[in-house]
Amino acid sequence: MSKRKKKVGLPPGSVVYTGSIQDKNIDIHFIQYDEEHLEEKAYSNLSKIVFLHSSEVKVDWYDVRGIHDTALIEQIGKTYDIHSLILEDVSDIHQRPKYEEYKNGIFLIAKALKFDKTSLSVGIEQVSLYFKKGFVVSFQETETDLFLAVRKRIQNDKGKIRLHGADYLVFAILDIIVDNYFIVLEDIEVAIESLEERIIETQESSIKSEIHHLKKELLVVRKSISPLREAISRLSKTDSPIVERNTEIYLRNVYEHTIHLMDTVDTYRDVLNGLQDLFISEVSFKMNQVMQVLTIVSTIFIPLTFLAGIYGMNFQNIPELSWQYGYFALWAIMIIIFIGLLIFFKRKHWF
């Protein structure tokens, strides 16, 4: 978050990149399609890029991967008449998911998540979408191709995507982001289940920090889903002519998925809290057992050792010492004490 400091005091609308990637290439994938035609270009040399003026008949999608070149963002902004507050948000990777309607177009921020199973950590990629009739531009920070499946559906004839406009494309992008949340949560579920097993088998010290870690990662997921749910809800209810009635039923479907996701996240949090309690009680249960062994051994042998000490004393006049079977009598007494205490502990259910 320390990039915030750069921005304090700057006028609103200042396009400042707040991430840490500086030396990577910026890739721009361009697709133009309608029901019949399809044109695709991938630019990695930005000097050659030509920004077409959208026709509203075909759909133009610029998929920009890399946002550290603020000049490029400002150029795109100028070409397609995008409000400077939008450009500011695009270049700031610490935005909350949100939905904003402007006169010319609609702006959306979502967070694409990825779960790394070895480090059990959630990776975040901020996706900014700006669209109007026949035009969509998406921004992300890294080069990862998040929307391969969407492009495949455009390329194949099967998908209905070519029959619809820019709003349906945005739906398809959001749909794939939300679908990925399910996969992330599945992976987290697997991690939780393996934790649960390990708690019952062993009580390694590391488990508690893993639980703590997973809870933090779930907070990250929650912070990504919760405002996105609201954003999609508002998108699905918009009056804007940019979104067609037909698309809304699909958006409502995505909205239901986000509700489902929130439910699941909250359930997992409850489960993790339960695991934490379970871990603590497992540990204290084991300590209990250990303590009981100590108690039993001590409580039995301390009096016996005391008796042995008594007859180890060097008083000149200890009558028992000169008895013929004194030693054996003492053993008998000790064994009676030993067995008596064992029975006492058994009755108390101490072992």
Q: Sheet containing 38-43: give its strands across.
A: 38-43, 27-33, 59-65, 135-140, 121-132, 106-116, 98-101
Footprint of a copy of itself on 103-162 (CB under 8 A): 148-150, 152-153, 158-161
Query: In the bound complex, what is the minimum distance in angstroms from residue 57's beta carbon to a copy of itself?
Result: 22
From 21-29, 59-67, 131-139, 306-314, give the range in contact with a copy of itself by CB under 8 A.
Answer: 306-314
Amino acid identity for residue 14 in this structure = S
List, as one string, the DSSP characters of 142-155. S---TTHHHHHHHH
Quick check: helix, strand or coil at residue 301?
A: helix
Footprint of a copy of itself on 259-298 (CB under 8 A): 259-260, 263, 267, 270-271, 274-288, 290-295, 297-298
Closer to a copy of itself at the Cβ: 23 or 197?
197
Footprint of a copy of itself on 210-269 (CB under 8 A): 212, 215-216, 219, 223, 227, 249-250, 253, 256, 259-260, 263, 267
Query: In the bound complex, what is the minimum distance in angstroms from residue 277's beta carbon to a copy of itself?
Result: 6
Q: How far apart (Å, rounded) are the C-alpha atoms in residues 2 and 186?
A: 32
Does position 202 bind a copy of itself by CB under 8 A? yes
With the CA atoms of 87, 88, 94 and 98 taken in that order, what torsion angle do they form, in degrees rounded to the nearest 10?
-60
Residue 98, strand partner residues: 109
Provide the CB-side half-sphere exposure for 157 (13 A, CA): 2
Does position 81 bind a copy of itself by CB under 8 A? no
Quick check: helix, strand or coil at residue 44?
A: coil
Does position 180 bind a copy of itself by CB under 8 A? yes
Query: In the bound complex, what is the minimum distance in angstroms from residue 66's beta carbon to a copy of itself?
Result: 23
Q: How far apart (Å, rounded) are the C-alpha atoms in residues 168 and 181?
A: 20
Q: How far apart (Å, rounded) are the C-alpha atoms in residues 39 and 103?
A: 29
Q: From residue 310 to residue 329, what is the string marking binding to a copy of itself with x (rule CB under 8 A)? A: xxxxxxxxx-xxxxxxxx--
Closer to a copy of itself at the Cβ: 11 or 241?
11
Query: In the bound complex, what is the minimum distance in angstroms from residue 107's beta carbon to a copy of itself?
Result: 12
Number of residues that bind a copy of itself (CB under 8 A): 107
